[in-house]
């Protein structure tokens, strides 16, 4: 009934980039595992292989001792393995019951057997402690409920091995507690759970054993009880944290304010946000998902409607309505969504680099030679590793894509730089490069704002960290008060 999983020397290539380098370990049934690793460590890829979403390039996967190659997620489901995605796989316009039986509809003759499906759906919803009617449309549920529907759906497919990718990222703390209660119940029923999370306190409380991956390799496995959170963090990063961050340079007492925001309000997202950042300063923005950080800065750039607020750049009040006006005024914003908003992955490196500053190369015909020279310089300056400067951006690894995105957004030589999750999805080496770049930008007298969900990063980089919760600024902590506990307390409102 239970599923034993064994990875043997699993390798995975995406184009020319190898993201998994011979990963081997085994998971015995009926336990809760925490899978730890930085962004880009290969956790998600490995789990997608296990759940049938990706094929292995080399190596093999053994289920109950038998080599298996799942051709689809459906094949993995048939073996009892289900992955619950970070962004759910639910059809918003269909009902809970319709989603649970999607692709597995029960029929009576040629017609759907709605009655049986409803009854079964109710049973599984009850099992996960979700009190909604199976006839409710998914779009009417809140995120936490959707999560439970996903789990109920997995159970309805007789899941014996549940993979959960960052399940608590968007949940409030009471919702999180409910989820953990469900997980404990599942474990008691003999279901194996593999739980991917960055929240080390949750990993510490809810798992039996942790497995650490780094840069596409298996690093180690330890009983959870034998590790401290600090040890987990060090294992993930693979070096002492102090080595990752350059020493902070104290701010000059007379450093001028470069950006001052007063009473910024974004309908539905934030209310009365005020802050300022000075030349040479790195200001962090912490908060949970949905706290309104990204949306506030998008509104600041004119990418969203703002209902109130004044912006002063370099002491001069400005009215910014488009990203172009922001750029002309010396402010730039790099989105957290690299492939969706930051880079044209299907265009070349050169086209990406000069996209925001074409007027420099057009007179009026584009000077391709000058563009190429600019790319060669950027590749050098930003340490972008690419075999071929003529290739497309999608051929780069995550870290190098991010460096290219940084080069693009810094190409206009901005004075105020807003970086949203600058180290998301990049390997440790690239992460360190990015931290040192941020440090250098500040040292050059620019103002840098870093929005990040990685507390370690905020603590290591920033002079001050502003904490947002539910659209309002809770507090701004100076370097001397920066601890994970303090940041979490303000972000969750339990201070």
Partner 1 sequence: MQPARTDTTTSSLTKLGARIKGFGPVLGLIALCIAGTLLNGDFATIDNLMNVLTRTAFIGIIAVGMTFVIISGGIDLSVGSMAALIAGCMIYFMNQLAMGMGGDLAPITMLVLGIGMALVLGAGFGLMHGLLISKGNIEPFIVTLGTLGIFRAVLTYLADGGALTLDSTLSDLYSPVYYTSVLGAPIPIWIFLIVAAAGAIILNRTTFGRHVQAIGSNEQVARYAAINVDRVKIATYMLLGVCVGIATVLYVPRLGSATPTTGLLWELEAIAAVVVGGTALKGGEGRIVGTVIGAILLSVISNILNLTSIISVYLNAAVQGVVIIAVAFLQRGRK
Say whether residue 220 binds partner 1 (CB under 8 A).
no
Question: Of 402, 458, 392, 395, nearest to 430 (Cα)?
Answer: 402
Sign of CA dihedral 26, 81, 48, 34: negative
The only residue of 2, 4, 18, 137 in contact with partner 1, by rule CB under 8 A: 18
In the sheet with 316-318, reading across from the earlier edge strand, the strands are 270-278, 257-266, 308-313, 316-318
> What's the closest the beta carbon of residue 34 comes to partner 1, in angstroms?
23
Q: What residues numbered 360-419 form the site for partner 1, per CB under 8 A?
A: 362, 364-366, 368, 385, 387-388, 397, 399, 408
Complex with partner 1: residue 142 or 362, whichever CB lies closer: 362
Q: Which stretch binds partner 1 (CB under 8 A): 48-56, 224-232, 352-360, 458-466?
A: 352-360
> What's the closest the beta carbon of residue 72 comes to partner 1, in angstroms?
18
Complex with partner 1: residue 15 or 493, whichever CB lies closer: 15
Torsion of CA 293, 297, 299, 301, to 10 degrees: -170
Q: How far is CA 102 from CA 40, 95, 137, 161, 181, in A?
A: 31, 10, 14, 20, 27
Say whether residue 243 binds partner 1 (CB under 8 A).
no
Task: With beta carbons less than 8 A apart as the criterion, state whether 276 and 259 touch.
Answer: yes
* Angstrom distance (rounded) from CA 241 to CA 229: 13
Say whether residue 359 binds partner 1 (CB under 8 A).
yes
Say whether residue 239 binds partner 1 (CB under 8 A).
no
Say how far residue 491 (Cα) sits from the centre of its chain.
17
Helix, strand, coil abundance in the chain, percent, nearest 5: 35, 25, 35
The only residue of 78, 135, 181, 347 in contact with partner 1, by rule CB under 8 A: 347
Show the tokens assigned to 239: 């070096």
- For residue 337, the surrounding DSSP H or E stretch is none
Say whether residue 16 binds partner 1 (CB under 8 A).
yes
Print the binding letters for residues 305-334 with partner 1: x by CB under 8 A, - otherwise: -----------------xxx-xx-----x-
> What's the closest the beta carbon of residue 95 comes to partner 1, in angstroms?
28
The only residue of 96, 266, 343, 477 in contact with partner 1, by rule CB under 8 A: 343
The only residue of 28, 185, 346, 370 in contact with partner 1, by rule CB under 8 A: 346
By CB under 8 A, the count of residues binding partner 1 is: 44
Say whether residue 240 binds partner 1 (CB under 8 A).
no
Reduced to 3 states (helix: H, G, I; strand: E, B; else coil), residue 5 is strand
Cis peptide before 185 (omega within 30 of 0): no
Judged by the rule CB under 8 A, the positions of this chain that interact with partner 1 are: 13, 15-19, 21, 215-216, 303, 322-324, 326-327, 333, 335, 340-347, 351, 355-356, 358-359, 362, 364-366, 368, 385, 387-388, 397, 399, 408, 427-429
């Amino acid at each position: 009934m239970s599923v034993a999983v064994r990875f043997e020397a699993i390798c995975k290539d995406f184009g020319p980039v190898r993201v998994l380098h011979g990963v081997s370990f085994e998971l015995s049934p009926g336990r809760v595992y925490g899978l730890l690793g930085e962004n880009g460590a290969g956790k998600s890829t490995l789990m997608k292989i296990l759940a049938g979403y990706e094929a292995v390039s080399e190596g093999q996967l053994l289920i109950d001792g038998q080599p298996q190659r799942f051709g689809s997620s459906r094949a993995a489901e048939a073996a009892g393995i289900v992955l619950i995605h970070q962004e759910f796989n639910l059809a918003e316009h269909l009902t809970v019951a319709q989603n649970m039986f999607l692709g597995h509809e029960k029929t009576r003759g040629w017609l759907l057997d709605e009655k049986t499906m409803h009854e079964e759906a109710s049973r599984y919803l009850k099992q996960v402690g979700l009190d909604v009617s199976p006839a409710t449309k998914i779009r009417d549920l809140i995120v936490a409920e959707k999560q439970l529907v996903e789990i109920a759906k997995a159970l309805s497919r007789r899941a014996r091995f549940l993979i959960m990718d960052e399940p608590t990222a968007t949940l409030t703390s009471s919702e999180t507690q409910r989820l953990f209660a469900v997980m404990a119940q599942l474990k008691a029923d003999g279901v194996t759970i593999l739980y991917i999370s960055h929240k080390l306190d949750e990993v510490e409380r809810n798992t039996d054993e942790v497995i650490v991956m780094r840069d596409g390799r298996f690093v180690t496995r330890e009983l959870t009880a034998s590790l401290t959170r600090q040890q987990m963090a060090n294992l993930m990063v693979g070096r002492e944290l102090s080595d990752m961050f350059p020493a902070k340079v104290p701010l000059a007492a007379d450093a001028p304010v470069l950006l001052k925001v007063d009473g910024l309000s974004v309908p539905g997202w934030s209310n009365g946000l005020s802050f300022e950042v000075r030349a040479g300063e790195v200001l962090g923005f912490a908060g949970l998902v949905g706290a309104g950080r990204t949306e506030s800065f998008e509104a600041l750039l004119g990418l969203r409607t703002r209902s109130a607020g004044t912006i002063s750049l370099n002491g001069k009040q400005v009215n910014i309505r488009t990203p172009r006006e922001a750029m002309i005024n010396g402010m730039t914003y790099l989105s957290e969504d690299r492939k969706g908003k930051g880079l044209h992955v299907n265009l070349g490196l050169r086209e990406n680099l000069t996209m925001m500053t074409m007027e420099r190369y057009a007179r009026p015909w584009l000077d391709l030679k000058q563009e190429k020279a600019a790319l060669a310089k950027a590749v050098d300056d930003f340490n972008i590793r690419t075999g071929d400067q003529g290739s497309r951006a999608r051929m780069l690894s995550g870290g190098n894509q991010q460096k290219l995105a940084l080069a693009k957004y810094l190409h206009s030589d901005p004075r105020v730089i807003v970086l949203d999750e600058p180290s998301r999805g990049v390997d440790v080496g690239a992460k360190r490069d990015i931290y040192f770049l941020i440090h250098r930008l500040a040292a050059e007298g620019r103002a840098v704002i870093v929005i990040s969900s990685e507390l370690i990063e905020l603590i290591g980089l920033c002079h001050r960290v502003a904490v947002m919760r539910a659209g309002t600024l809770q507090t701004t902590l100076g370097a001397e008060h920066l601890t994970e506990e303090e940041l979490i307390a303000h972000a969750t409102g339990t201070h």
